[in-house]
Structure 1
Amino acid sequence: MSLGIASFFFAQSVVVPLAAVVLGVFGLRDEPAGRSFSIWGIVLASVATFGWVVVVVAGALISLPFLFFAAS
């Protein structure tokens, strides 16, 4: 779960959210007592990654018209 929380700050690097998801899946399989922590870690990493993808796509769409002006 701590990597899921950290992925909100480090989601632009793919390593932290990917590690959060992988360790969350391992936690689901290995430790039944920590099931809720594993699920929350996976959810938080997924939300952070999706949020950064939305930010990057929105930035690309906003800057796209300016590329046409720069080319001419």
Structure 2
Amino acid sequence: MTTLTDSATQAPFTEPNPYATPAAENRGFSISSLVLGLVSIVASYTFFVPAIGLVLGIMALNREPAARTMAIWGIVLNAVMLAGAVLATLGFLVFGLAMLPFAFL
């Protein structure tokens, strides 16, 4: 005598599979933020590189808790370089305006 059971009423296999590979962690935003932070040391005058790295680092804090350290370092590097670029630009602007009366002598 055979009995037929449909698969919808059976409980699924719930034991963990010891041979399953772990899912790859997504660390793209934090790595990008850190790399752009390092690149912004050289290219901070562009304003775009540190600004994009800062945004990616802030997004990585919310989305990637496993890569929090890289995201924080990216935020710190990008913020420091962005602030330095803004201060340097303001300094050059003030110096240029201060020297403007002497340009026509």
TM-score normalized with structure 2 length:
0.60
Percent identity for Structure 1 against Structure 2: 36
Q: Does 1:12 align with 2:45?
A: yes
The answer for unaligned runs of 5 or more in structure 1 is none
TM-score normalized with structure 1 length:
0.82
CA distance in structure 1 between the partners assigned to 2:48 and 2:99 by the alignment: 31
CA shift for structure 1 position 61 = 2.8
Letter in 1 for 2:100: L
Q: Does 1:44 align with 2:77?
A: yes
For 1:58, the equivalent position in structure 2 comes to: 91
State the Cα RMSD in Å.
1.6
Q: Which has the higher helix share?
A: 1
Letter in 2 for 1:25: I
CA distance in structure 2 between the partners assigned to 1:46 and 1:63 by the alignment: 25
CA shift for structure 1 position 53 = 1.7
